Amino acid sequence: MWDWAHFKNEGWVAHTKRSVRLAALLLASGAAMILHMLVPFWQQPKRLQRGEVACSLCEGLESQED
C-alpha cells in the first residue's frame, strides 16, 4: 500500500518541485561527468561537480525534514 504521509508536512506541489529540481540536477551532473570522460580537458561547471551536487542533495533532504 502506498503511504501518502510523506506529503503531509510540505504538500504535494512543494514535494514535486523539489523532486524535479534534484532529479534534473542529478541527470545534468551525470551528463557532465560523461562529457568530461569523453573530453578530458573540459571541466564541468562548478554547480555540476560532485561536491556541489552532494551539498545540494543534502540541503534538499534537510529542507524536507524541516
| Residue pLDDT, tens place only, 11-51 | 778 888 888 998 999 999 999 889 988 998 878 888 888 88
Cell of 65: 525534514
Cell 503511504 belongs to residue? 3
Instruction: Assess whether pLDDT exceeds 70 at residue 52.
Output: yes
Instruction: Assess whether pLDDT exceeds 60 at residue 1.
Output: no
Does the predicted TM-score (pTM) go above 0.85?
no
Contact 64, 18 (CB under 8 A): yes
